[in-house]
Amino acid sequence: MSPPTASTPQPSAEPPPPSCHALKLLKDQTALVTGASSGIGRAIAIALGQAGANVVINFFGQPDKALEVAEEVRRCGTRAITVPADVSDPQQVRVMFERTVDEFGGLDILVNNAGVQLDAAFEDLTLHQWQRVMDVNLTGPFLCAQEAVRLFTKQGVKPALSCAAGKIICISSVHEVIPWAGHVNYAASKGGLMLLMKSLAQEVAPRRIRVNSIAPGAIRTPINTAAWSTREACNDLLKLIPQKRIGEAEEIGRAAVWLASDQSDYVHGITLFVDGGMTLYPGFETGG
Ligand code: NAD
């Protein structure tokens, strides 16, 4: 594959719209969000921009959508670039980090968001479906976190920006703990991601690098359209959610801003479930 090219950053021409957060918790920090051209990654990129961060928008095959996200981030008064990369390819990941450092001089926040679902009944699951999900959902976060840890370690703490040398947030899933029939590869990848996150958090804590996960429940995005786009599917889904509503990507964006900020400095190696109560065994709602 030829090396990825990237768009050039452009300063924002317009003042931030009123919707941008007044509290710039991430002012002047730089964040890289993988798979940021759609869904949860898009919402996280915009929320980080609203909180004052410059944002590297990684995308895979959706350049126009990535450019739109960059435009929205710039409207918040911060800088944004778009960088194509397949997170499962070590060479492309390395180039993406080099591009980030060239453009912004360093990195403060990595959000490992890119993920795929390739579903099949277990006996029909192909090696390709198994491998691709592992490559994107587990090897991708490994490769990106490794580049980020090397960079954070080299940079050290920059007290004017944050009391941490760097923050890594993995976008996991409620399926890091809830088994999921027909989605064995996906659940295994997210279960693996949980222990990648926790083991890494333990290892790099002395270097003031914070590592945590967010586990979304059912969020309205392209990955799960089939689960909410018909009335019947939606009703079935709502039975699994005590709050009886589907979550919105912006709710994950707000959680990511908090986890990336010094407000959560003592939060380390945890999974923050943002799921409307999906992990509360909803089958027992009526007493079981
Ligand atoms: P989505 O399909 O909109 O987002 C996935 C993104 O990953 C896309 O932008 C896609 O282009 C990108 N991507 C796929 N392969 C890639 C690769 N090899 N390299 C780089 N990027 C790649 O769906 P989403 O719901 O926004 O998913 C985002 C994350 O949230 C995923 O990790 C997913 O597992 C997780 N998640 C979503 C939900 C939900 O209900 N939507 C629930 C739990 C967890």
More confident residue, 206 or 3: 206
Q: Residue 237's closest CA among 219, 249, 222?
A: 219
Closest Cα to atom 3, ligand 1: which residue? Answer: 39
Query: Ligand 1 pocket by C-beta < 6 Å: which residues?
Result: 34-35, 37-41, 58, 60, 62, 86-88, 113-116, 136, 171, 173, 216, 218-219, 221-224
* Spatial separation of the C-alpha atoms in residues 175 and 217, rounded to whole Å: 8
Candidate from 71-75, 107-111, 192-196, 231-235 with smallest mean pLDDT: 231-235
**For residue range 121-161, what is the model confidence (pLDDT) as tens digits?**
999 999 999 999 999 999 999 999 999 999 999 999 999 99
Closest Cα to atom 31, ligand 1: which residue? Answer: 115
Element (H, E) at 210: strand 209-216
Distance 112 CA to ligand 1 centre (A): 10
Handedness of CA 138, 140, 141, 143 (dihedral sign): positive
Per domain, the residue ranges of the chain are 30-275
* pLDDT of 16 higher than 80: no
Distance 10 CA to ligand 1 centre (A): 26
| CATH fold for the domain made of 30-275 | Rossmann fold (3.40.50)
Closest Cα to atom 34, ligand 1: which residue? Answer: 115
**For residue range 88-132, what is the model confidence (pLDDT) as tens digits?**
999 999 999 999 999 999 999 999 999 999 999 999 999 999 999
The pLDDT value given to residue 80 = 98
Q: Look up 266 and say whether it is catalytic.
A: no
More confident residue, 80 or 3: 80
Q: What is the pTM of this model?
A: 0.94
Distance 39 CA to ligand 1 centre (A): 7
Residue type, 83: V
Q: What residues pair up with 272 in beta bridges, in sequence order?
A: 214
The pLDDT value given to residue 227 = 87
Annotated catalytic residue: which of 142, 152, 186, 228?
A: 186
CA 282 to chain centre: 26
Distance 265 CA to ligand 1 centre (A): 26
Closest Cα to atom 39, ligand 1: which residue? Answer: 219
